[in-house]
Amino acid sequence: MLDNPKNDPDLDRDLRAVWHPCTQMKDHASIPPLLIERGEGIYLIDRDGKRYMDVISSWWVNLFGHNHPRLNAALKDQADRMAHVMFAGVTHSPAIDLACSLVDLTPSHLTRVFFSDNGSTSVEVALKMSLQYWQQTGQVERVRFIHLSGGYHGETLGALSVCGIDLFREKFEKVLMENIEVTGPDCFRCPYNLRPESCGAECFEPMEKTLAENAKTVAGVVIEPLVQGAAGMKMYPPVYLKKLEDACASTGAHTIYDEVAVAFGRTGALFVCGEHGLSPTFLCLSKGITSGYLPLAATLTSEEIFQAFYGEPSSMKLFIHSHSYTANPLACACANETITMLRENNFLETLQPKIKYLGEVGNRLRELEWCGEFRQTGMIAAMELVRDKKSREPFPPELRVGYRIYLEGLKRGVFMRPLGNVIYFIPPLIIMEKEIETMIDAADESIRAVLKK
């Protein structure tokens, strides 16, 4: 397809009217976007019938594959009752069931669910709740958030202000809320020369210092637990989070866990916080919540936070935030079916052999001369390509190594979308071992095709 891009009139129409997200549109002047017509399990199918394995789950959202009969049925069944109703003054079963499930399945102190539409808004809600909490409980100077270098929490301007990746923020620096960036874990290039399996999160020191120095002005710390996705699937051990919780407990700062990318089975568990006995003040969820069907997000928090907003109407303590489609019943119906499927037939246990197998076949990638690191957390795996294995010297961005490997992958029927020099895999959880092997083989071949010259 790439060697002979079809002159499909719909592609012309796309290129005349559509502005694609996070895309230099000029790239599509030579190589048009894939025109995907159908989905089937872990495959995307284009207009010519060519199949592409969706190894990044369509931006990390899909859990049970495309066109799943049970999710389709849940969607259609809800459509026959009601697609949507506003969520102020009104409630409905799909939202009630989902909220109760989330409260039941997350750590016990999380008792309240506020719905919104996407990962960005789930973080905006947490930031706003944290700020308003401090305004209403007397610590009015708590108006700054700490975030990690490499952190990503969405791209609306509030969420972007706690983002630690220059690429996303640099054009907007002049208007972003002044938050505090702290150097976070970097296990691949650990400055302490430690291994994540055995370290004590020595790299927590800058966070500890920053929290102590700003103890009275920090509202909260925003963090992606275990995996910093957009930074290139950078992974770090849970001991960092335990230290964070202790430090926040001693200074009173809130913890905002952005599990948008990692929750709902990606790490092998439903939620990272639950798996590791952690107690975030706020838990942000989206992406997999509907198994890749519809936009939906939830921000969970504690009774203590909720009570600070509860009172007589005249107190004006209420949380004023809304989106028109808050708790959309169609999306909630898909989410409820997703949670049912995640919890039945020991589904999460069935991931364990796949996780093991992914590590095993991933070893093949470790042998590549350009493999700086092959890392894995549950069903998420990533390989960081380097020009020189010993010095860990990265490929310069102008070589566009990742993009060229992506194009080679398409030829081989695998839809990857590297993050810079990091080739990563976050496939639908239903992927089978044989397909994992195909995926790794295709990546292997694509990398060699680009770099062996």
Q: Work out whether 88 is an interface residue with its own copies (CB under 8 A).
A: yes
Q: Work out whether 114 is an interface residue with its own copies (CB under 8 A).
A: yes
Q: Work out whether 85 is an interface residue with its own copies (CB under 8 A).
A: yes
Residue among 306, 238, 292 nearest 99 (CA) = 306
- Compare residues 156 and 251 and give the one whose CB is closer to its own copies: 156
Q: Which of 3, 4, 49, 90 binds its own copies (CB under 8 A)?
A: 90
Q: Which of 50, 51, 70, 136 binds its own copies (CB under 8 A)?
A: 136
Nearest distance from residue 312's CB to its own copies, in Å?
7
Q: Which of 99, 262, 368, 426 binds its own copies (CB under 8 A)?
A: 99
Q: Pick the stretch among 108-116, 184-192, 194-202, 241-249 that binds its own copies (CB under 8 A).
A: 108-116
Q: Work out whether 286 is an interface residue with its own copies (CB under 8 A).
A: yes
- Compare residues 172 and 192 and give the one whose CB is closer to its own copies: 172
Q: How far is CA 30 from the centre of its chain?
A: 30
Question: Binding pattern to its own copies, positions 250-279, x when CB under 8 A?
Answer: ------------------------------
Question: Binding pattern to its own copies, positions 20-49, x when CB under 8 A?
Answer: xxxxxxxx----xxxxxxxx----x-----
Residue 112 parent element (H or E)? strand 110-116
Per-residue burial over 318-351, b if 16 or more Cβ lie within 10 Å, else e, is ebeeebebbbbbbbbbbbbbbbebbeeeebbeeb
Q: Which of 1, 96, 190, 269 binds its own copies (CB under 8 A)?
A: 96
Hey, which residues between 293 and 322 contact its own copies (CB under 8 A)? 293-295, 301, 306, 309-314, 316-322
How far is Cα 180 from Cα 391, in angstroms, rounded to an integer?
A: 31
157: number of Cβ within 10 Å: 14
Neighbouring residues of 88: CB distance < 8 A, sequence distance ≥ 6: 322, 326
With tokens 């499930």, the residue in question is 101
- Compare residues 364 and 400 and give the one whose CB is closer to its own copies: 400
How far is Cα 288 from Cα 431, in angstroms, rounded to an integer?
A: 15
Collapsing DSSP to helix, strand or coil, 313 comes out as helix
Q: Work out whether 149 is an interface residue with its own copies (CB under 8 A).
A: no
Residue among 177, 180, 123 nearest 146 (CA) = 180
With tokens 């996780």, the residue in question is 355
Hey, which residues between 326 and 365 contact its own copies (CB under 8 A)? 326-328, 330-331, 334
* Strand ranges in 331-407 using DSSP code E only, listed in sequence order: 371-377, 380-388, 393-394
153: left (phi over 0), alpha (psi -120 to 50) or beta: alpha
Nearest distance from residue 291's CB to its own copies, in Å?
9
